[in-house]
Structure 1
């Protein structure tokens, strides 16, 4: 279990804890139209139990494999049922792509973990093993421009999130956006992919800690800030796990493009 793997598991469990404490999905499962549905709280608790159970399960070796499979399917459903319809309905709105891209990074991390742990026997070849990791990297690389471009499309909103003590906030907004796009190109075409994925993960962690971390020290803790911190940490962990999939490749080595395995 690498540190990235453990962090990913802990963050997923933390999402479950938030769901169990607050008993709603309004801030975590956005775009679920269940605010006035009967039994919506039971659904929220069911989601929270899945998140908590799979997060803990990943840390218990005999349970890790089934937990990884359940979590992967769960995250794919999150992306496909909650985020993809918005992209299809309003493709001209970059915000819909941003929402999908952020969740896709988490899906990519869950996919890498599943591919690591799953047996190849009886599994579709594109899901497990080296091909599964390859496809997870491809999903990760394609999701990064969706995140990076939002820093340009919504630069005023991005500037508002830059800590006030940093100079040139617009420059930081553009720099981080360009960083995600550059990481996409590097991973997609195998240009120092380990370094690029690691730098992207580090950048996402720095954003998480600088933007949302300080808000956690306010008392009482703001629910929005708490949820935003954990979701942002989940995105950073997804990128971190993908970066760990390159472990063994030298930092400055050229790798296979994201659509190829090293053996191809």
Structure 2
């Protein structure tokens, strides 16, 4: 199980190192995402970039991991409250905004799982799992940017769309059941990683300087890393009160 945790950590941390670098490469654009009523937009763009990189290093070397993971989770929670929720209120009919919001909830949950504290891990697991159900349901609506992640050279793309959605939902049910968590989470991790590589690698090879493509790729890699981390979590069995141990 330790190997699964290490694998998940590396995927997750690598994604946030890329995100951190992007905050310096595209600081002007990132600054526009900061709510208008908050001062010093460019400062916060650089500050978050540094925070992402430092948190990633802490997670990789396993030094102050509890502190950095919790702070990273809180930062992502602030993004959800300050950026995603206002965007969803203003544009409730845009599925891509919902997708970005739930992706950040999932990676926030992963940050809590990396904290290594049982209560935080439990909360993080559910914060990770629920968004995956929402992402899975989008495969049944055939939302264009979701369906696009099924490689076009697959025959019967819509059929594969359904299959991916069904597998994701079954895996999440297994994760949330506690009793059968490891295998479904590992299946989900392999599925998400495979889809991310099949979709993003050809696009990045075609245009390696496409910042938006790198962001999408790293989001998918971070979420796949979260699934590997879930697969390594200890299984918790809940017994009715009064049952003998």
- TM-score normalized by structure 2? 0.81
Which residue of the other structure, out of 132, 139, 147, is the alignment partner of 1:159? 147
Secondary structure of the residue that 1:161 maps to in structure 2? coil
State the 1:220 CA deviation: 4.9
Consecutive unaligned residues in structure 2, runs of 5 or more: 239-244
Q: Tell me the residue number matched to 2:161.
A: 173
- CA 76–224 in structure 1, closer or farther in 2 if over 3 Å, else same: same
Secondary structure of the residue that 2:24 maps to in structure 1? helix
Q: Tell me the residue number matched to 1:133.
A: 121
Which residue of the other structure, out of 128, 131, 136, is the alignment partner of 1:143? 131
Counterpart Cα distance in 1 of 2:237 and 2:141: 31
| Aligned residues of 1:10 and 1:56 also touching (Cα < 8 A) | no
Q: Tell me the residue number matched to 1:188.
A: 176
Counterpart Cα distance in 1 of 2:34 and 2:185: 31
Counterpart Cα distance in 2 of 1:61 and 1:156: 39
| Aligned residues of 2:12 and 2:223 also touching (Cα < 8 A) | no
- CA 188–97 in structure 1, closer or farther in 2 if over 3 Å, else same: farther
Q: Tell me the residue number matched to 1:260.
A: none
State the 1:30 CA deviation: 9.2
- CA 173–64 in structure 1, closer or farther in 2 if over 3 Å, else same: same
Counterpart Cα distance in 2 of 1:102 and 1:230: 11
Aligned residue pairs, count: 235
Range with greater deviation from structure 2 (134-143 or 192-201): 134-143
Higher relative contact order (CA 8 A, sep 6+): 2
Q: Tell me the residue number matched to 1:67.
A: 68
Counterpart Cα distance in 1 of 2:83 and 2:170: 27
Q: Tell me the residue number matched to 1:232.
A: 220
Q: Tell me the residue number matched to 2:187.
A: 199
Counterpart Cα distance in 2 of 1:37 and 1:81: 10
- TM-score normalized by structure 1? 0.76
Secondary structure of the residue that 1:245 maps to in structure 2? coil
Greater per-residue helix proportion = 2
| Aligned residues of 2:18 and 2:218 also touching (Cα < 8 A) | yes
| Aligned residues of 1:103 and 1:235 also touching (Cα < 8 A) | no
Consecutive unaligned residues in structure 1, runs of 5 or more: 117-128, 250-254, 258-263
Q: Tell me the residue number matched to 1:14.
A: 18
| Aligned residues of 2:35 and 2:82 also touching (Cα < 8 A) | no
Q: Tell me the residue number matched to 1:42.
A: 43
Counterpart Cα distance in 1 of 2:82 and 2:223: 18
Q: Tell me the residue number matched to 2:8.
A: 4
